[in-house]
């Protein structure tokens, strides 16, 4: 069993991105800019936004957080998005999820300019991903692919099972794997006999946010297991995989924390810099 160390790889990627931002500033006078819309007082969201801001500062990306109250109206957020779309110094815009119940997230995500959609959630970019075209891929699945690539894990021709079918993780994860040549099986809440699917996986990706969902008897010997889900249990972060029981059966496995999480932020930075490179002169 070997660990897929996302913390180590993300640190390496950030150093490379720092050089890219310095070069952009020197050659074109561009400082990549990222705007985050944070609605409400969700503690986990606030912490995550702080981590993003700190990461931006470390690599030379300008970041701004637009904080809004819990009872904000939909139109007020739409007006803010329009303002950000028209700001030439902002290359990326993201809306921190989850949102309060009165807000329709789909409407907001569709209003972000497609060339500033660094989270990759706009239907336009989602469609380009499905078509195998260059686009902004969602940061978590993109980070997983980079983690596999960095450890010389080729998914081509492998049986991949994705547990979870969200538009943020499961569906784009499946699309990236399919584009890379894997045979992909997607499981979700309505799947009958989940273990029957997971036991056939050469690569298993779990992203539903249910602690300990994947047990040792649900995977085959030598499988590669990527734990994308995160839950807090008794004050500690836990993944979807029962790590202690599952790890001895695997060839590679991600820890939680320190696996996929750091890669998500690294890919957000990478997407923002990618957008900045396309900024009109």
Per-residue confidence (pLDDT) for residue 233, from 0 to 100: 85
Residue from 5, 91, 117, 119 carrying the catalytic annotation: 119
Global pTM?
0.95
Catalytic choice (5, 52, 171, 238): 52
Q: pLDDT above 90 covers what percent of the chain?
A: 93
Q: Domain 139-262 belongs to what topology?
A: Rossmann fold (3.40.50)
- The stretch 104-114 carries a mean pLDDT of 96
**Start-end of CATH 3.40.50.10860 domains in the chain:** 27-116
Is the pLDDT at 87 greater than 80? The verdict is: yes
Of the residues 96, 116, 146, 238, which is catalytic?
96
Q: Is the pLDDT of residue 281 over 80?
A: no
For this structure, is 52 an active site residue? yes
For 157-197, the pLDDT digits (tens) are 999 999 999 999 999 999 999 999 999 999 999 999 999 99
pLDDT tens, 189-219? 999 999 999 999 999 999 999 999 999 999 9
Q: Is 240 a catalytic residue?
A: no
Average pLDDT of the chain to the nearest whole number: 96
For the chain, give the DSSP string: -EE--HHHHHHHHHHHHHHHHHHHHHHH----EEEEEEES--HHHHHHHHHHHHHHHHHT-EEEEEEE-TT--HHHHHHHHHHHHT-TT--EEEEPSP--TTS-HHHHHHHS-GGG-TT--SHHHHHHHHTT-S----HHHHHHHHHHHHTT---TT-EEEEE---TTTHHHHHHHHHHTT-EEEEE-TT-S-HHHHHTT-SEEEE-S--TT-B-GGGS-TTEEEEE--EEEETTEEEESB-HHHHGGGEEEE--TTTSHHHHHHHHHHHHHHHHHHTS--
Q: Delimit the CATH 3.40.50.720 region(s) of the chain.
A: 139-262
Per-residue confidence (pLDDT) for residue 235, from 0 to 100: 82
Give the CATH architecture of domain 27-116.
3-Layer(aba) Sandwich (3.40)
């Amino acid at each position: 069993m070997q660990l897929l160390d996302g913390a180590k790889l993300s640190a390496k990627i950030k150093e490379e991105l720092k050089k890219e931002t310095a070069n952009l500033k020197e050659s074109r006078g561009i400082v990549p800019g990222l705007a985050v819309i944070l609605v409400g007082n969700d503690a986990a969201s606030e912490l995550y936004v702080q981590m993003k801001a700190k990461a931006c500062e470390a690599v030379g990306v300008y970041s701004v957080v637009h904080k809004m109250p819990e009872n904000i109206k939909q139109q007020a957020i739409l007006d803010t998005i329009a303002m950000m779309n028209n700001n030439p110094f902002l290359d990326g815009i993201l809306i921190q999820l989850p949102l309060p119940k009165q807000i329709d997230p789909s409407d907001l995500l569709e209003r972000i300019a497609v060339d500033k959609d660094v989270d990759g959630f706009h239907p336009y970019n989602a469609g380009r991903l499905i078509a195998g075209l260059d686009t902004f891929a969602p940061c978590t699945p993109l980070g997983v692919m980079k983690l596999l690539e960095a450890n010389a894990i080729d998914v081509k021709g492998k049986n991949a099972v994705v547990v979870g079918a969200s538009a943020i993780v499961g569906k784009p994860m499946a699309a990236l794997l399919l584009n890379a040549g894997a045979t992909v099986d997607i499981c979700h809440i309505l799947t009958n006999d989940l273990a029957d699917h997971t036991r056939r996986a050469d690569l298993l990706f779990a992203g539903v946010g249910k602690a300990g969902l994947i047990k040792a008897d649900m995977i085959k010997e030598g499988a590669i297991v990527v734990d994308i889900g995160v839950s807090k249990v008794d004050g500690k972060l836990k993944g979807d995989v029962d790590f202690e029981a599952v790890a001895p059966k695997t060839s590679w496995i991600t820890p939680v924390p320190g696996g996929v999480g750091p890669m998500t932020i690294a890919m957000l930075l990478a997407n923002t810099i990618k957008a900045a490179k396309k900024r009109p002169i």
